[in-house]
Structure 1
């Protein structure tokens, strides 16, 4: 009887699997554009899924911000702010040698498929490191004494100098050691990436150094709960709101039944700063 109850429970759950769910908010602001994105990131070994909703507000044309265009456009009719709400999903399968990304378009019952090379996955993390030609890497971080509470976590501010268009600009990361679950999520993310890139000849020379630097960052600082990153005249702020363990059906990481494949739609690609996620 107990076995029957267990079998019925498993069937009802769709043979569920445990995952880590990270909920975060991402805000990007510039003089002509503003977006607010709420993200649910589900993480498991071999899989990730992002479910998001975004409100975008456009305030005129970006051309109007260019000095040589300001005089030409000063007499143009004033444009009222335009707002738009969009939703989407992104599923990533991490396989040996490649990552397959599925962008899901619920309103059209369609999806597009894209394969990513390993070096694209680790690019964000490598921005935090200084690596020499021998593959020796060390974190390029400037810890500060500034501390504050973000949500329920005590966090410390760390400055990272990021190269943007040949110019170094500061990005600000707030790290915490208070969440073991966030630390576990970071390790799952790194394990997924390593599965893809371990045989990539252009990346493999740096893997050992990158893994050692990753562990050093975890030991010294912990995990990122907030980041502030300047990008091409705009600023993106990403904040972790909650992290917990949940169960999902195994089919959760598959393209929904009845969806047809279509060509990629670039606006579906969400900004990612994985743990600073994008990593994580």
Structure 2
């Protein structure tokens, strides 16, 4: 390896320690500063949605919005530069969130109001667990993610069954009540069935006939039973997961996190930690 390559690797390693790690003073300082910037940028987006604040301070909020967007864009580019496999980071969860947190501002040049989507930046606050060395929370998050992935097939089947159910129940209510009682179409009746089955009950449409009210009662009771199903599916999967403590290290190759305490290699890309 040439001296130039060695210097490049050393530069990338040091910058990686600052951007992706929180073990050093500068690494923690970088992450804390980043978290504060995220909070301020999300606050600015929220304030911009308030009419009288936008009327009085619209130009200032616009400048702040672009300032943070440029800052986060430079940060995103830096993250791509310091990892040896930038595409791995780009398509990771945090990589996609980092990208989506800057895209809305550029979209606002073509689509009015797109900047409101900048609140996606709030997802970046999840890094607080790593910054303050809350490895236990990272372990629990990994366990929950694994349980959700393991139960996704069951959840898809469950959602499919619920969809078929609301279609049938909505159609039945359309036939029973008809347009004179507000059930003017099957899609609108299905909307009522969804609202009723989920126990939300907006009250904008309600059955008036005895048969319709009886069916509505059964749907509401059924809704309470259905709510517990996805919770039970995920809980059952979580009970089978073994808790493995994880560290707060980030892979220098793909930026993956959540590695076991004694891990020497990344479980995502196989790179040495």
Q: Which interval holds the TM-score relative to the shorter structure?
A: under 0.3
Which structure features the higher share of helix residues?
Answer: 2
TM-score norm. by structure 2 comes to: 0.17
Ranked by relative contact order (alpha carbons within 8 Å, sequence separation 6 or more), the top structure is 1
Structure in which a larger fraction of residues adopt strand: 1
